[in-house]
Amino acid sequence: MNVEELIGVTLRQAAPLMLVAYGGLFSYHVGVINIAMEAEMLAGAFAGLTITAWTGNLLLGLLGAVISAMLIGATFALLTEGLKAHLVTSALGLNTLTIALTRLLMWVVTGSRGAFVPQSLPILPRLQIPIFKAVPVLQAFSGHSILVYGAWLAWVFTTLWLYHTPLGLRIRAVGENPEAARAIGLSIQRIRVVAQLLCAILCGLGGAQLSLGDLRLFTSGMTAGKGFIALAAIYFGRGRPVFTTLACLLFGFFDGLQSRLQLWINVPPQLAQMIPFLTVVAVLVFVSWRDVRKGARA
């Protein structure tokens, strides 16, 4: 395979991960382990595709993706902040619920139980970059759906918001030291809820990129752990946007590689599909092992 193809497929596979991971950074920094990102992403993927196919309007579809993800985010916030439910179990419950609910809704809307492939679907605009198109390697960066570029914008936006705005400062303050944040008069609950909703917005867009931008169909449970991989990308970078981005690109690369590997050499698909999940575990263990060693030396 050539370099352009590899770069292109990496960018496309990484984009949904990036969007979700940047959303997750808000949760991470406010001190919430957000496993519900998987559910938010799935809801975004379903609502984005279905509403776009139904109305023929991409903007409405994207809006629907964001709103449906925010509904789940709001439920998650209500459960964990309002009713003091456990972060992990309530999120796992929402994941189960969302998989079933999207399947049920898919059946209600289309009568189909496995997949929804709309016959006509407006195409997410592709951004052509004229200067890049003529250059050999750089041309791989041109011609992707706008959400792929949106993912990179989201990087800038998230970094600025988290590190250079008062709200970002408050979010990080609540995450790092809730007691101190409370002492200076911040409403911890309100900030947590705001961070959760910001997270959901990006998760919804990530899901929409998956169904609308890339595959142009919806299958039940199509996120297949991508929300968890995004979460791992955050852990990989200890919540730092740069490293989170690198991790997303790495996982995107492996994801792209595994689909290509099967075409060139005869690697069993199951072994290739394991790669991103094994990478996550290996990276997590390595990062923590390094931290422990550093701690021991200091």
Partner 1 sequence: MGNWKRSLITEFIRIGLLLAIAFLITGLIISFTGENPFTVFKILVTTAFGSRAGLAETLAAATPLIFTGLAIAVAFKAGLFNVGVEGSLYLGAFGAAWVGFTWLHLPGWMLVFLAILVAGIAGGLWALGPGIVKVRYNVDEIVTTLMLNYVAIYLTTYLVTYIYGVPGLANAMSFPIASAARLPRLAPPSQLNLGFVFALIASFTLWFVFRRTAFGYEVRMLGSNPLCVKWSGMPDKKIAVKAMFLSGFLGGIAGAVQILGIHYRFIANFSPGYGYTGIAVALLARNNPLGVLFSALLLGAIYNGESLIELMTAIPMEVPRIFEGIIIALTSAELVVQLWVWRRKAKTQESKR
Nearer to partner 1 by Cβ, of 96 and 128: the residue is 96
Nearer to partner 1 by Cβ, of 112 and 139: the residue is 112
| From 125-133, 156-164, 193-201, 274-282, span contacting partner 1 (CB under 8 A) | 274-282
Residues 108-127 that bind partner 1 (CB under 8 A): 108, 113
Residue 103 binds to partner 1 (criterion: CB under 8 A) = yes
Rounded to whole angstroms, how far apart are CA atoms 253 and 260?
A: 10
Q: Which helix (H) or strand (E) holds 4?
A: helix 3-30
Identify residue 185 by its one-letter amino acid code.
Answer: G
Quick note: the x/- pattern for partner 1 over 14-53, rule CB under 8 A, is -------------------x-x------------------
Q: How far is the CB of 270 from partner 1 (least distance, A)?
A: 4
How far separated are the first and last CA of the chain, in Å rounded?
A: 46
Rounded to whole angstroms, how far apart are CA atoms 147 and 145?
A: 5
Q: Of 7, 67, 85, 167, which lies in the binding site for partner 1, with binding defined by CB under 8 A? A: 85
Q: How far is the CB of 85 from partner 1 (least distance, A)?
A: 4
Q: How far is the CB of 272 from partner 1 (least distance, A)?
A: 9
Tokens representing residue 84 in the block: 């003091």
Rounded to whole angstroms, how far apart are CA atoms 54 and 49?
A: 8
Q: Of 11, 79, 191, 195, which lies in the binding site for partner 1, with binding defined by CB under 8 A? A: 79
Residues 134-173 that bind partner 1 (CB under 8 A): none
Residue 89 binds to partner 1 (criterion: CB under 8 A) = yes
Residue 242 binds to partner 1 (criterion: CB under 8 A) = no
The residue written with tokens 């263990």 in the block is: 285
The residue written with tokens 């960018």 in the block is: 11
Q: Which helix (H) or strand (E) holds 34?
A: none
Tokens representing residue 82 in the block: 């309002």
Q: Of 126, 165, 169, 289, which lies in the binding site for partner 1, with binding defined by CB under 8 A? A: 289
Q: Is 143 left (phi over 0), alpha (psi -120 to 50) or beta?
A: left
SS3 (DSSP) at 237: coil
Rounded to whole angstroms, how far apart are CA atoms 165 and 256?
A: 36
Residue 296 binds to partner 1 (criterion: CB under 8 A) = no
Residue 235 binds to partner 1 (criterion: CB under 8 A) = yes
Alpha carbon of residue 248 to chain centroid: 9
For residue 83, what is the DSSP state? S
List interacting residues with partner 1 (CB under 8 A).
33, 35, 75, 79, 83-86, 88-101, 103-104, 107-108, 113, 178, 224-225, 228, 231-232, 235, 268, 270-271, 273-274, 277-278, 280-281, 284-285, 288-289, 291-292
